[in-house]
């Protein structure tokens, strides 16, 4: 049986990215190898990871197992990782990527992102704090970008991009960059539909990757009274019409708006079903209805880093 794969989108450098990827934040080291293997078996050819998730070794083991089994070749799969905030000084970037490659057991990445625009103090662990407050570094993300460009020139990654950048930060980056970012990975889901930042990025041919597509129900700070997107009645009514689930409708909504969702799961049945979205389409009316659910419902504000001059959520988009 041949596995059905997801369609791809062309990035602004000509490389192709599959329109859905597997997220790996909060996926425990003991669970994520199985999750990656299940995803590859289900047809995923795109995995989203990061150094700060502290599970890249186990993500790499899943990829290696499927290469060794002959299910995929390295070039068949799109692997993303992210530079953590403590490695923002130009001279630290290449080393940070080399560490990620060593952890993953790979020779190159498909995409490396600056995880957040804020820089944290170097050499104090992943979350350097003093008296409970995050310690920042004076590194400027424009200098970080120079390190990202070096990574690309050295062949350590095929593409480079950013994450959690607002429109002003992107303007500033685009004015200075030799190499344009291919994507801005941001939080997007029906409760935070990001229509302005998505339009901004589209106009500049920067793909939006949509993180926390289900509004991250397993986020550590979730409260039982928070609204649940996966049970939202408006989405449920649309899902029933298509004989699909809320998860399917949300992923279709994101794909039909031109973004690339990266749903996380460590449950094989969910990993499989989240891929089952290429046999139906939402109408423009249904997309408009879902757009109406926006309530500025950001679930990843990273408030601990609010004091940084580069915290991205001080402006409208
Ligand atoms: N760049 C950034 O700053 C940033 C920030 C946040 C996230 N991300 C990336 O985006 C990925 C996705 O975001 P996320 O992890 O925050 O959350 P998410 O994908 O919105 O939601 C994940 C949660 O939904 C559950 N789930 C998945 N499929 C389901 C289904 N079909 N039915 C019911 N529940 C389902 C998962 O459960 P189980 O795992 O238990 O199955 C998990 O609890 C991350 O893993 C990460 O790779 C990036």
Is 128 a pocket residue for ligand 1 (Cβ < 6 Å)?
no
Report the distance separating Cα 20 and Cα 8, nearest Å: 9
Is 163 a pocket residue for ligand 1 (Cβ < 6 Å)?
yes
Cβ neighbours of residue 21 under 8 Å, at least 6 residues apart? 44, 46, 47, 48, 78, 80, 209, 260, 261, 262
Q: Do 112 and 151 meet the contact criterion of CB atoms below 8 Å apart?
A: yes
Cβ neighbours of residue 162 under 8 Å, at least 6 residues apart? 113, 114, 117, 141, 169, 170, 173, 181, 183, 184, 185
In this prediction, residue 167 carries a pLDDT of: 98
Q: How far is the CA of 217 from the centre of ligand 1 (A)?
A: 7
Q: How far is the CA of 178 from the centre of ligand 1 (A)?
A: 33
- Positions marked catalytic: 53
Q: Do 156 and 98 meet the contact criterion of CB atoms below 8 Å apart?
A: yes
Report the distance separating Cα 167 and Cα 117, nearest Å: 12
Cβ neighbours of residue 109 under 8 Å, at least 6 residues apart? 79, 80, 81, 97, 100, 101, 156, 157, 158
In this prediction, residue 2 carries a pLDDT of: 73
In this prediction, residue 1 carries a pLDDT of: 59
Q: Do 176 and 4 meet the contact criterion of CB atoms below 8 Å apart?
A: no
Residue from 264, 276, 305 whose mutation best tests the ligand 1 pocket (most atoms within 8 A of CB): 264
Residue nearest atom 43 of ligand 1, based on CA coordinates: 218
The pLDDT tens digits for 118-170 are 999 999 999 999 999 999 999 999 999 999 999 999 999 999 999 999 999 99
Q: Which ligand 1 atom is the nearest neighbour of the CA of 265?
A: 39
In this prediction, residue 61 carries a pLDDT of: 98
In this prediction, residue 3 carries a pLDDT of: 85
Residue from 23, 47, 185, 248 whose mutation best tests the ligand 1 pocket (most atoms within 8 A of CB): 23
Report the distance separating Cα 35 and Cα 268, nearest Å: 6
Residues of the chain with confidence (pLDDT) below 50: none
In this prediction, residue 82 carries a pLDDT of: 99
Residue nearest atom 48 of ligand 1, based on CA coordinates: 211
**C-alpha closest to that of 148 among 193, 115, 195, 107:** 115
Binding-site residues from annotation for substrate:
115
Q: How far is the CA of 274 from the centre of ligand 1 (A)?
A: 11
Residue from 48, 116, 212 whose mutation best tests the ligand 1 pocket (most atoms within 8 A of CB): 212
Q: The whole model's pTM is what?
A: 0.98
Q: How far is the CA of 80 from the centre of ligand 1 (A)?
A: 16
Q: How far is the CA of 146 from the centre of ligand 1 (A)?
A: 31
Q: Which ligand 1 atom is the nearest neighbour of the CA of 213?
A: 20
Report the distance separating Cα 204 and Cα 90, nearest Å: 25
In this prediction, residue 197 carries a pLDDT of: 98
In this prediction, residue 80 carries a pLDDT of: 99
Is 247 a pocket residue for ligand 1 (Cβ < 6 Å)?
yes
Binding-site residues from annotation:
115
In whole angstroms, how far apart are CA 291 and each of 20, 33, 195, 296? 20, 35, 9, 11
Cβ neighbours of residue 120 under 8 Å, at least 6 residues apart? 84, 85, 86, 88, 127, 128, 134, 135, 136, 137, 305
Residue nearest atom 31 of ligand 1, based on CA coordinates: 270
Q: Do 141 and 96 meet the contact criterion of CB atoms below 8 Å apart?
A: no
**C-alpha closest to that of 80 among 182, 215, 188, 206:** 182
């Amino acid at each position: 049986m041949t596995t059905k794969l997801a369609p791809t989108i062309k990035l602004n450098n000509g490389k192709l990215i599959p329109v859905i990827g597997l997220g790996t934040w909060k996926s425990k080291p003991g669970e994520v190898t199985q999750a990656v293997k299940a995803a590859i078996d289900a047809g995923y050819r795109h995995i989203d990871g990061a150094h700060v998730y502290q599970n890249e070794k186990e993500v790499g083991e899943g990829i290696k197992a499927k290469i060794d089994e002959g299910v995929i070749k390295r070039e068949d799969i799109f692997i993303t990782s992210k530079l953590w905030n403590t490695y923002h000084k130009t001279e630290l970037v290449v080393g940070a990527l080399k560490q990620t490659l060593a952890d993953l057991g790979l020779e190159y990445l498909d995409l490396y992102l600056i995880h957040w625009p804020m820089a944290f103090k170097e050499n104090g662990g992943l979350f350097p704090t003093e008296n409970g407050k995050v310690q920042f570094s004076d590194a400027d993300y424009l200098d970080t970008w120079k390190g990202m460009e070096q990574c690309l020139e050295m062949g350590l990654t095929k593409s480079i991009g950013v994450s959690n950048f607002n429109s002003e930060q992107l303007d500033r980056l685009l004015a200075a960059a030799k190499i344009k970012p291919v994507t801005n990975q941001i939080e997007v889901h029906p409760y935070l539909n990001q229509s302005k930042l998505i339009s901004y990025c589209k106009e500049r041919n920067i793909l939006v990757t949509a993180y926390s597509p289900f509004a991250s129900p397993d986020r550590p700070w979730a409260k039982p009274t928070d609204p649940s997107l996966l049970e939202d009645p408006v989405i449920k009514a649309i899902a029933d019409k298509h004989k699909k689930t809320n998860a399917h409708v949300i992923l279709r909504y994101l794909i039909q708006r031109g973004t690339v969702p990266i749903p996380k799961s460590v449950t094989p049945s969910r990993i499989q079903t989240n891929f089952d979205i290429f046999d139906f389409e939402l109408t423009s009316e249904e997309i408009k209805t879902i757009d109406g659910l926006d309530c500025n419902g950001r679930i990843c504000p990273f408030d601990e880093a609010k004091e940084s001059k580069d915290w991205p959520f001080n402006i409208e988009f």
